[in-house]
Structure 1
Amino acid sequence: MDKSLLASILTFAAYFVVMVGIGLWVYKRTVSLSDFVLGGRRLNSWVAGLSANASDFSGWLLLGLPGAIYLSGLGEAWIAVGLALGFAGSWILIAGRLRVYTERATDARSGGESDSLTLSSYLENRFSDRTGLLRGVSAVLILAFYLFYVASGLVGMGGLFEQVFGMSPAIAIIAGVSIVVFYTFLGGFLAVSYTDVVQAVMMWIALLVVPIVAVVAVVSDTESEVDGLGSVLGGFEGGGVFDLGAFLAPVAIISGLAWGFGYLGQPHILARFMGIRSVKDVPRAGVVSVAWAVSAMALAVVMGFSGVAFFGFDTGLDDPEQVFTELIQALMNPWVAGLLLAAILAAVMSTADSQLLVASSALTEDGYRAFLKRDASAMSLVWVSRGAVIAVAVAAAGIALSGNQSVMDLVGYAWAGFGAGFGPVILLSLYWKRMTWTGALAGMVGGGATAVIWDILDEKVLGTGLYAMVPAVAVSVAGIFIFNGLGKATDAMAEDFDRVDAEYREAKQPVGA
């Protein structure tokens, strides 16, 4: 057997053993739906911060972004700028308040503190919606968009296995999703969060090591095919012709920055805010998380340009999204390469497991428990959630196997859907006391529908090239304000708002103040 293949097999196997071991370790600690869905709300700052990163930055970070930079130049880096701003904003504007509100809002159905475990249940309780519409519609949006999001990770996983092992994408997708389902099935939120910490460290180290080695290799190679540093600033057209306009084009800037708004509405990231131990842990978790995110995205951009410098414009790569794996295999010792390739697998799996968990929670908490059996026992709900993990995984794998969409395309579609469908609603729900359920419903439906329709409309009719997030967020915000007056903000909702605001402000005070 080829030495590099043997090294990859053994390192991947060791990685799988660690992930499953963590799942087995927390299995007996998962005794209720709260444990399975939010880990009993006991994540410390480091786990919450790094888990938020790993659950967010999927194969997009190690495959999609470097590939986009390799193919199109620095114009694609506006996405990274927008994401950095959005990530910091979500920790500052949403994390603390959402942590308090999801626990303290009055239960819309039974009274008393709700301890909302999902985004859908939070919205129902926040707006005292007894119709079930907010909960049902939001759960449907979560399931629909997560099928595409999880599928994007499986596409990335298939490409990695094909590149490393020569395995067919179909077999790779089935094998990879089986491992993810297994440890998520066992340990739920805690298993996902602890494995995320390991995966976040692996991803960051890989992003640091590979570009450095690539740059050293290029500098020491006098026959390098680099065509000049000027091309770094724009798009790469026909063999590296410099195009500054691709970097400064208004549509590229607006579309790239708009990605940042998506952070306000991603359920798998918001779940980390809901599961953190205390509001007092939020500032440190935010610093850890944002520092990791900014440095990792900067390194991913460098990775893309390292690929341009090393492989050149003319020879190029058949699949730009494999630039990271190509660099690893071209530059590294087989055993080191195996470890670094496992980091790419970690990036894919760390997001897929979080998304599977949130989607299964929507089926269990917002479907089965909310509408079918409210008095279900704690352990029966855990087992229903485990079954839902399998169901969502199978459906997502079907999408991944049915087409050849790129990782970037699938992520962009789901990201816009969540960002526009939930972002404005969540943000305003935390700061606007008089917001009502009708405004929230209009914002979700308008934003989510526009995210779906825009790409088709723009491709067939308008031709602007504008990312769907921009018009979808505009429609969502407009819908909230236009339809808000059709509902009523009750006195109980106002009391909840004031109580949450007071608790949040008190928790932010320094000890002894």
Structure 2
Amino acid sequence: MSITTPTLVTFVIYIALMVLIGLAAYRATNNFSDYILGGRSIGSFVTALSAGASDMSGWLLMGLPGAVYLSGLSESWIAIGLIVGAYLNWLFVAGRLRVQTEHNGNALTLPDYFTNRFEDSSRVLRIFSAVVILVFFTIYCASGIVAGARLFESTFGLSYETALWAGAAATIAYTFVGGFLAVSWTDTVQASLMIFALILTPVVVMLATGGIDPTFAAIEMQNATNFDMLKGATFVGVISLMAWGLGYFGQPHILARFMAADSVKSIAKARRISMTWMILCLGGAVAVGFFGIAYFSAHPDVAGAVSENPERVFIELAKVLFNPWVAGVLLSAILAAVMSTLSCQLLVCSSALTEDFYKSFLRKGASQRELVWVGRGMVLLVALVAIFLASNPENRVLGLVSYAWAGFGAAFGPVVLISVMWNRMTRNGALAGMLIGAITVIVWKQFGWLGLYEIIPGFLFASIGIVVFSLLDKAPSASMLKRFEEAEREYQAG
């Protein structure tokens, strides 16, 4: 596809719109709380779509359709696990975390919350949790940059190196300028674009292959086991795919959306909006990959790029089946997915470096203006490291994401979940949970025991560690218990 096509024009207009939103957010950013959490002023609709868009990343339009295209419906267990996990996260964590962070020192970041929640004067929780965020999020950011590079590479025929910088530049620009408000407002636009693309594309693909019956017949003819949800599956394999849902409890970029909601009363409405959006998007992504089997088996002459890399299935369908202007909008949806996740991950890393290292250890008396500009500098620093990690063109989006997702899910998930549900949890319990979860994921990943996804043993062992070390520890202080109960009463009243 020539670089002079309408697709390029559509991309440029889209990117310009995102940067303009960033500039508008810049004008509304008055202090560091605004830059990191939008001043806790985000309504239910923006909270819902921002949580969804920041979650799904390029994996939604590249990794998942590619996996289904390659292996059939047996890959959709991931989608089912994610829906269950996201719902439970909204149900049990979202509202409680919103009030707990406010009652515990008006915490702006997870390390800040852990420090205040457990009265950790040693600040070891702050340091360790900030390090976990930086290590795993830099990997996660790299996966987003890989996805963006693949998009620019296949759409405009750029070299991987050029595509790498082109894909990252716009996201860095509006995150740097506008902070959390820019990220949340752009997420809302991006989530709308993603759901439009994932509902329209499978419908058009199905029509292009002759309707429901011919499409299913073609998929069956290509390989009858494509319909088999248990194809090649073992109990361990299915559980490993479903276990992706466990990760939600520990993802800082999603939890930040809950913390930024304008009140606990907004959470229930946001949950309904977000889950509807998520189910439609995941269903559409599975359908794109599944119906793509029928289309490319009937049109092998245009299947070359997909055969080479199945993660391009959505990109190639958009280019082949749609008018170039519409294709430009649809391909912008991938850019939207990449940008929405990458932007909030950069921001969480920036907040960890600024709030949890710079302000806590180097400049306790730093002004709000100084903190905002240090935060912006940290966005650039983390982005450059992530670009360096993404420079290997052999990287695959799903592989990078699964490791980072497991790391957060096991290191933070049990700590966050239990900390908002159980008043007896202590500092030593939280530290044990983080250490056990993170170490288990790293070690299990290296050895691959039982073929089990590392988040399962990580989450399980971390949860046990939290309970055991909390019960062995002395009881929480009266002030800790008082703050917990006050927050819980506010949550129940909401």
Q: CA deviation at 1:285?
A: 0.5
Q: Deviations over 1:210-248 (max 9, x none)?
A: 1111101111699989555487884x5xxxxx7664265
Task: Provide the C-alpha distance between the structure 1 equivalents of 2:307 and 2:476, rounded to a whole number of angstroms.
Answer: 57
After TM superposition, the structure 1 stretch with the greater mean CA deviation from structure 2, 130-139 or 213-222, is 213-222
Alignment of 1:97 with 2:96, yes or no, is: yes
Which residue identity lines up with residue 203 of structure 1 in the other structure? M
> Are the structure 2 counterparts of residues 68 and 496 from structure 1 closer, same or farther at C-alpha, using a change threshold of 3 Å?
same
What's 2:142 paired with? 151
- 1:469-484 residue pairs with structure 2 within 5 A? 469-484=455-470
What's 1:433 paired with? 423
Q: Deviations over 1:231-271 (max 9, x none)?
A: 7884x5xxxxx766426531222011111111111000000
Q: Is the 8 A contact 1:184 1:353 kept in 2?
A: yes
Task: Provide the C-alpha distance between the structure 2 equivalents of 1:228 and 1:172, rounded to a whole number of angstroms.
Answer: 33
> Are the structure 2 counterparts of residues 355 and 232 from structure 1 closer, same or farther at C-alpha, using a change threshold of 3 Å?
farther
Q: Secondary structure of the equivalent of 1:73?
A: helix
What's 1:304 paired with? 289
Q: Secondary structure of the equivalent of 2:53?
A: helix
Task: Provide the C-alpha distance between the structure 2 equivalents of 1:123 and 1:89, rounded to a whole number of angstroms.
Answer: 21
Task: Provide the C-alpha distance between the structure 2 equivalents of 1:434 and 1:223, rounded to a whole number of angstroms.
Answer: 59
Q: Secondary structure of the equivalent of 1:246?
A: coil
Task: Provide the C-alpha distance between the structure 1 equivalents of 2:6 and 2:60, rounded to a whole number of angstroms.
Answer: 24
Task: Provide the C-alpha distance between the structure 2 equivalents of 1:334 and 1:457, rounded to a whole number of angstroms.
Answer: 47
Alignment of 1:283 with 2:268, yes or no, is: yes
- 1:405-444 residue pairs with structure 2 within 5 A? 405-444=395-434
Q: CA deviation at 1:358?
A: 0.4
- Identify the match of residue 481 of structure 2 among 494, 503, 508: 494
Q: Is the 8 A contact 2:206 2:212 kept in 1?
A: no
The normalised TM-score by structure 1 is 0.92
- Identify the match of residue 382 of structure 1 among 345, 348, 372: 372
Task: Provide the C-alpha distance between the structure 2 equivalents of 1:347 and 1:444, rounded to a whole number of angstroms.
Answer: 29
Q: Is the 8 A contact 1:214 1:331 kept in 2?
A: yes
Q: Deviations over 1:257-300 (max 9, x none)?
A: 11111111100000000000001111001100011001110111
What's 2:10 paired with? 11
What's 1:45 paired with? 44
> Are the structure 2 counterparts of residues 233 and 289 from structure 1 closer, same or farther at C-alpha, using a change threshold of 3 Å?
farther
Task: Provide the C-alpha distance between the structure 1 equivalents of 2:457 and 2:172, rounded to a whole number of angstroms.
Answer: 35
What's 1:331 paired with? 321
What's 1:111 paired with? none
Which residue identity lines up with residue 38 of structure 1 in the other structure? L
- 1:122-137 residue pairs with structure 2 within 5 A? 122-137=113-128
> Are the structure 2 counterparts of residues 244 and 118 from structure 1 closer, same or farther at C-alpha, using a change threshold of 3 Å?
closer
Q: CA deviation at 1:450?
A: 1.4
Which residue identity lines up with residue 483 of structure 1 in the other structure? F
Q: Secondary structure of the equivalent of 1:312?
A: helix
- 1:223-262 residue pairs with structure 2 within 5 A? 227-229=218-220, 234=225, 245-246=230-231, 248-262=233-247
What's 1:510 paired with? none
After TM superposition, the structure 1 stretch with the greater mean CA deviation from structure 2, 249-258 or 260-269, is 249-258
Task: Provide the C-alpha distance between the structure 2 equivalents of 1:224 and 1:501, rounded to a whole number of angstroms.
Answer: 52
Task: Provide the C-alpha distance between the structure 2 equivalents of 1:54 and 1:42, rounded to a whole number of angstroms.
Answer: 18
Q: Secondary structure of the equivalent of 1:501?
A: helix
What's 1:180 paired with? 171
What's 2:152 paired with? 161
Q: Is the 8 A contact 1:101 1:500 kept in 2?
A: yes
**Cα RMSD after superposing both structures:** 2.0
Q: Secondary structure of the equivalent of 1:65?
A: helix
- Identify the match of residue 200 of structure 2 among 209, 221, 234: 209
Q: Is the 8 A contact 1:32 1:378 kept in 2?
A: yes
Structure 1: 5+ residue runs without aligned partners?
Answer: 106-113, 237-241, 508-513
Q: Is the 8 A contact 2:60 2:282 kept in 1?
A: yes
Paired residue total: 488
Alignment of 1:466 with 2:448, yes or no, is: no
The normalised TM-score by structure 2 is 0.95
Q: Is the 8 A contact 1:226 1:312 kept in 2?
A: no
Alignment of 1:363 with 2:353, yes or no, is: yes
Percent identity for Structure 1 against Structure 2:
48
